[in-house]
Chain A
């Protein structure tokens, strides 16, 4: 399906990619149902807190250097701005750059929900531009502005005549989608439609879509072997850098869920190849990914030399630690961009995946194909049990109680907290680069070992903690509250 890069709002993942958030079954069944088109996804009649797409959309955009994000909504929607402000400034400091991005809340009130606040929004944008002189302005809606029908598109269109920097409307009505990752697509869409310019000349650069560029120095060094430079997106990227990403040799990403929209958009509109392999986590993932980059930028020989040299350095050490990990049983709960990748890596390291929970599942990506990580698992690993849930902590703790694994892994801190309270050692895969390449795969294996070998904290804590769940719930089947959609 062609992407619609000429309008300000885009469909949600549910509509564009057939994505779901409710499923209990196994890997093969999920894939079969996806292929034959029968996968519908269930809806929960009881649920716990999910997350809305605004955090993903505005978190990404507010990482860009020297821009203004204006969140038009009540105070609660924009309060995490203070955290993003702190993180981006800290990361910038580490890199030795200054990030003057601001996060503005409009503090919408009861009166505004009745009479609208379009005029004040106009003035707020003008005042923001005057105060901070940002290089771009992103104006976001919220649930409240969406329901009262505030027309941010028209307000932004008018402002384009008054303000001489790129300005975009971001449609962040939280009720739009069950899938918070739809917010990543919204941020990519805004960048593609308002900041990226037509290419003038090819540059020796590779677009690298990531979250917080923690492996920045390593990746710069890695790509130097192949005479290319990475452009990290979006944390601390400048608007000027972003305007040229159409001139890069390729786009790669650390997480398929994060990079899919931008990668496909740049390929479709400007012919920048998007590397669609499994992700560079673990040995197989890293090598597959790197070889595809080599092929795309015509550096196959250099890539092969690099791989051979690194293999000699790291593979013996990885083989050694694998002996100790063999047979350990793991449960995972992560976004789909990581669940199916990390499932692969755990098996690569000799561990058994007893249950993988994905926070959502994309039946296919923007190019119409099923996600590569899923494809790889179907062809290469034994079947295992899978659920799809927008977090739903009660389901995770039920799974842990039923399967009693050696380890729980999650990419959401709140999720590991509850596993630990229930007495399970947990690894919080916080850094997106935690399992990137040979060296970090080895370090990750050691982290797993450290985590399961010392369980004193979890054991002692679990004895003292009163968990919120009833005994009744632990005896129920996981899909009790899941209703099939008609």
Chain B
């Protein structure tokens, strides 16, 4: 149902799909949509996620049927067919994914039939039938996994005991997505595991095809990919471990390692050695900067994955006081909200923080303005202005970020917690 949303933070389904495809090595999205959909969604996702653009094709180089009135009236299947044909000739990609805009969705173009013509010729073209209006960008992320599982992941691959799929971090949406993948991969590699991220180090179609061979899905996200987890289990026999919130800092990262180790029955001696080494590395640095950052009462505004990790690190490991946590992505299942509330209230504090689920900037600004105790605000570029008005320290680390450039920066894991602490000091 339509409602008032000031400065929407998410995007439509196309935004989420386009963001994810942009991170797969040499994958080419093909928009079957109006002329503006590709630019809007590119600008809306990667364009607001820390200044990077996807490396292979992005915005102006992405094929699009640019549907006009003629297609609205007479149907756009011919235009789609010639656009796919042209894309195969002009773009040197390993896979092509056809996206459905609102226009194509409402007029009912049969994109699957058109795509099947190319599949019959053994060309790697995949149809994504979910139209733009069907949901937000998080749903777009989940939609891509549905496409992977229905159309790409291969059944007959031999099982690999030490292979894991690392999921739940949304590429080109989470501003630190590649750095976060890299840090968690580093840690898992140290435990002797091979890691499929699908999106980093030029991973792509081959890793997706082979993901059914993994011993475990590690879903680093408090609520996304519920259906994908079930489908991996039933269709490919891959179980999933959900990590409720991005692990940041020694406490949560060590807990993360132990959870993985238990499920995969890893060698305890090796695991404990890795933990000891990593924790020592972190505390060696922390002890050199005691008291440089004065004690804060903080508020967090952003998506739940990072908000949980950040809140838990600052409260559990750094002894700051959490006051107000605002989770900004739309969520529909009460069980998800409950899981998130639990995770945010089972930590070290004198008094539980207030937790709000809110996407509308108007209500976000109001809640922040009403709380007079906050001395540190961690949010997105949207919150900078409020920080200035309240005259308190404000750090911008959540989507949307339009005033910072982020390459491989990470706040995840052991090393990321040090970067996070540095960045808080950098922005006093």
Q: Is B151 an interface residue (CB 8 A)?
A: no
Chain A residues with CB below 8 A from B58, complex form: 414
Residues of chain A whose beta carbon lies under 8 Å from any beta carbon of chain B: 45-55, 72-83, 85-86, 89, 102-113, 117, 120-121, 124, 127-128, 131, 142-144, 147-148, 174-178, 180, 390-391, 393-394, 412, 414-415, 417-418, 466-470, 472-473, 481
Smallest distance from the beta carbon of B92 to chain A beta carbons, Å?
5
Interface presence of B264 (CB below 8 A): no
Query: What residues of chain B lie closer than 8 Å to A121, measured between beta carbons?
Result: 2
Give residues in B with beta carbon < 8 Å to A.
Answer: 1-15, 26, 28, 31, 34-44, 47-48, 53, 56-69, 71-72, 79, 82-83, 85-87, 89-93, 101-103, 105-107, 131-137, 362, 381-382, 385, 400, 402-403
3 A-B pairs with least C-beta separation = A46-B86, A52-B36, A76-B12
> Can you name 22 A-B pairs with beta carbons within 8 Å?
A48-B60, A51-B39, A52-B36, A75-B5, A76-B41, A77-B40, A79-B15, A79-B40, A81-B7, A82-B402, A106-B5, A109-B1, A110-B134, A117-B1, A124-B4, A131-B4, A144-B133, A174-B34, A175-B67, A418-B60, A470-B91, A473-B90
Q: Do residues A175 and B5 form an inter-chain contact, with CB atoms below 8 A?
A: no
Is B36's CB under 8 angstroms from A106's CB? no
B60 to chain A, nearest CB (A): 4
- A147 touching B107, Cβ below 8 Å: yes
In the complex, A82→B11 CA distance in Å?
A: 11
Interface centre among B38, B68, B79, B403 (most CB of A within 10 A): B68
Q: Which of B8, B63, B91, B133 contacts A78 (CB 8 A)?
A: B8
Report yes or no: B2 in contact with A106, Cβ–Cβ below 8 A. Answer: yes
A470 to B79, CA, bound (A): 21
* Complex Cα gap A174–B8 (Å): 19
Contact between B2 and A112, CB atoms less than 8 A apart = yes
Distance of B173 from chain A, by nearest CB (Å): 11
In the bound assembly, the distance between CA atoms of A394 and B107 in angstroms comes to: 29
Taking a contact as CB atoms closer than 8 A, the residue among B3, B59, B63, B90 that contacts A107 in the complex is B3
Do the beta carbons of B4 and A128 come within 8 Å of each other? Answer: yes
Tell me if B1 and A174 are in contact (CB < 8 A).
no
A468 touches B28 (CB 8 A): yes
**B101 to chain A: which residues have CB within 8 Å?**
143
A85 CB to nearest B CB, Å: 6
Enumerate chain A residues within 8 angstroms of B133, measured Cβ to Cβ.
Answer: 74, 108-110, 112-113, 144
Taking CB atoms, residues of chain B closer than 8 Å to A472 are: 89-90
Known contacts A47-B63, A52-B34; A85/B53 CB under 8 A: no
B60 engages A412 (CB within 8 Å):
yes
- Please state if A50 and B85 are interface contacts (CB–CB under 8 Å): no
Among A51, A54, A106, residue most surrounded by chain B Cβ atoms (within 10 Å): A51
Known: A47-B63, A414-B58, A473-B90. A106 touches B4 (CB 8 A): yes
A466→B56 contact, CB < 8 A: yes
CA distance A466 to B134 in the complex (A): 34
| Chain A proximity of B214: nearest CB distance (Å) | 28
- Residues of chain A contacted by B4 (CB below 8 angstroms): 104, 106, 124, 127-128, 131
Report A337 CB to chain B, min CB distance, Å.
Answer: 19
Q: Which one of B44, B67, B90, B137 contacts A80 once the chains associate, using CB atoms below 8 Å?
A: B44
Q: Is B134 within 8 A of A76, CB to CB? A: no
Q: Counting chain A CB atoms within 10 Å of each CB, which of B37, B79, B382 scores highest?
A: B37
Q: Compute how far the CA of A176 lies from the CA of B72 in the bound complex, rounded to whole angstroms.
A: 10
Q: Which residues of B contact A102 (CB under 8 A)?
A: 6-7, 362
Kindly provide the distance from the CB of A167 to the nearest chain B CB, expressed in whole angstroms.
16
Chain A residues whose CB sits within 8 angstroms of the CB of B47 once the complex forms = 80, 83
Q: Which residues of B contact A417 (CB under 8 A)?
A: 53
Closest to B18 in A: A76
Q: How far does the Cβ of A146 sit from chain B's closest Cβ, in whole Å?
A: 8
Scoring B4, B91, B106, B400 by chain A CB atoms within 10 A of each residue's CB, the highest score goes to B4
Bound-complex Cα distance A363 to B265 (A): 72
**Cα-based distance from A470 to B94 in the complex (angstroms):** 12
Residues in A whose Cβ lies below 8 Å from that of B3:
106-107, 120, 124
Known: A52-B34, A77-B36, A113-B106. 4 other contacts (CB 8 A): A79-B40, A147-B102, A147-B107, A414-B59
Task: Return chain B residues, CB-CB under 8 Å to A143.
Answer: 34, 37, 101-103
Q: Which residue of A lies closest to B59 (CB)?
A: A414
B39 neighbours in A (Cβ, 8 Å): 49-52, 55
Smallest Cβ distance from B276 to chain A, in angstroms?
Answer: 39
Q: Is the CB of B11 within 8 A of A470?
A: no
